[in-house]
A = this chain, B = another copy of it.
Amino acid sequence: MKTIQSDNYPIYFEDSIAELEKFVKAGNYSRSFILTDEHTSIDCLPLIQAQFAGHENFDIIEVNSGEESKTIDFCIGIWKMLIDFEADRKSLLINLGGGVITDMGGFAASTFKRGIDFVHVPTTLLSQVDASVGGKTGIDMDNIKNIIGTFTQPKAVFIADEFLKTLPARQILSGTAEMLKHGLIKDAAYWAALKNSDLSIPSAELIYRSVEIKNEVVIEDPKENGIRKALNFGHTIGHAVETNSLINDKDPLTHGEAIALGMICEAYLSHKKTGLSSDHLTEIVTVINSLYPKYNLAAANYETLCAIMLKDKKNQNGKINCTLLTSIGQCSLDNICTDAELCESLAWYAAL
């Protein structure tokens, strides 16, 4: 597997931890910081430290794991640690963790002293195939995901499958949803390959192809004015369900579980509005439902979900804008959906 070249930065897939060591040494940084959470500091940090074997002195900044930590308060904590450790403009921040770490660490670095270098070492499948590529940084506020952030590219991304071995099955499946999405929006053959694979631990080749698809899209449209919206398939409804679940459920949905649900609903809307065939709709629903547990939507108020969708930063002028499918492997951007249509799709899911 070759290194993928993204928007002025490389994404490494082979000997990635050794590549990280080379990168840090070549960068001649005045200081290097590693942002971790309580899981990655135990499960992942030792692999980095073993590689460097004491040759590099890292300062560790640890935050709590979980979406509920992706807030301005934790971000202020990171900034203040950087100040206390006397980080300067030639410092490097290494984000070691899942999407919360890479999104928030990227935001903290992109705004500290008007921007210091950062790299991502994504340790979950979800962050490997999604958050670590594309230059979106962000934090949540008032229960709106990534409402505050920047478009800033990392200097490099290091994808190492060693880290996936420590992940619980549910976390793996959270990433699989984004891989399925990549097939659905852009590559029918890849969708077919995924469908016929054991997805309990996706192969390195499948992960590589997923990153390749995402990278192709974001390079073409870094600031989401056009084709990048393809990546929002399943996310208009999925994000709202995820937000609602985070607020109300004792054991909230993972991102992937919410997106899986969102993809079913939006596949239904695709069938109604953009010509997705009923065979393709059935195939999508069957594959997704075989992987993800059914979620009890009854608890959620559909009106509340629509109100959350309206606050999504992708929507403008009070209209809700969905990316839908025309067939498996092809998508259609900018489909305005009414509250009634969105509610209908939710009810259809609930009745499955």
Name A residues whose Cβ lies closer than 8 Å to a Cβ of B: 30, 72, 76, 79-80, 83, 86, 88-90, 107, 110-115, 136-138, 141-142, 144, 146-151, 223, 310-311, 313-318
Q: Which residues of chain B have C-beta atoms less than 8 A from A89's C-beta?
A: 313-314, 316
Q: Which residues of chain B have C-beta atoms less than 8 A from A115's C-beta?
A: 150-151, 223
Can you list 26 A-B contacts (CB < 8 A)? A30-B316, A72-B76, A76-B141, A79-B147, A83-B144, A83-B147, A83-B311, A86-B311, A86-B318, A88-B317, A89-B313, A89-B316, A90-B316, A90-B317, A107-B111, A112-B147, A112-B148, A113-B147, A113-B313, A114-B137, A114-B138, A114-B146, A114-B151, A114-B313, A115-B223, A150-B150
User: In whole Å, how far is A18's beta carbon from the nearest beta carbon of chain B?
Assistant: 27
Cα A86 to Cα B83 with chains together (Å): 34
A310 and chain B: residue at smallest CB distance = B86
Q: Which residues of chain B have C-beta atoms less than 8 A from A316's C-beta?
A: 30, 88-90
Contact yes or no, A317 B147, CB < 8 A: no
Q: Which residues of chain B have C-beta atoms less than 8 A from A83's C-beta?
A: 141-142, 144, 147, 311
Out of B76, B136, B142, name the residue touching A80 (CB < 8 Å): B142
A316 and chain B: residue at smallest CB distance = B88
Out of B112, B141, B149, B310, name the residue touching A114 (CB < 8 Å): B149
Cα A112 to Cα B141 with chains together (Å): 11
User: In whole Å, how far is A327's beta carbon from the nearest beta carbon of chain B?
Assistant: 29
User: In whole Å, how far is A170's beta carbon from the nearest beta carbon of chain B?
Assistant: 29
Contact yes or no, B313 A141, CB < 8 A: no
A114-B313, A151-B115, A315-B88 known; A79 vs B141 contact (CB < 8 Å): yes
Cα A263 to Cα B341 with chains together (Å): 65
A141 and chain B: residue at smallest CB distance = B79
User: In whole Å, how far is A75's beta carbon from the nearest beta carbon of chain B?
Assistant: 9
Cα A113 to Cα B150 with chains together (Å): 8
User: In whole Å, how far is A248's beta carbon from the nearest beta carbon of chain B?
Assistant: 20
User: In whole Å, how far is A259's beta carbon from the nearest beta carbon of chain B?
Assistant: 20
Q: A76-B141, A80-B142, A90-B317 are in contact. List 13 more A-B contacts (CB 8 A).
A: A30-B316, A30-B317, A72-B76, A80-B141, A86-B311, A86-B318, A89-B313, A90-B316, A111-B149, A111-B150, A114-B136, A114-B138, A114-B313
User: In whole Å, how far is A322's beta carbon from the nearest beta carbon of chain B?
Assistant: 16
Cα A150 to Cα B106 with chains together (Å): 13
Cα A147 to Cα B149 with chains together (Å): 17
A318 and chain B: residue at smallest CB distance = B86
A135 and chain B: residue at smallest CB distance = B114
A113 and chain B: residue at smallest CB distance = B313
Q: Which of A72, A88, A107, A316 has the most CB of B within 10 A?
A: A88
Contact yes or no, B110 A150, CB < 8 A: yes
Q: Which residues of chain B have C-beta atoms less than 8 A from A149's C-beta?
A: 111, 113-114
A90 and chain B: residue at smallest CB distance = B316
The 5 A-B residue pairs with the shortest CB-CB distance, nearest first, are A113-B313, A88-B316, A114-B149, A90-B316, A30-B317
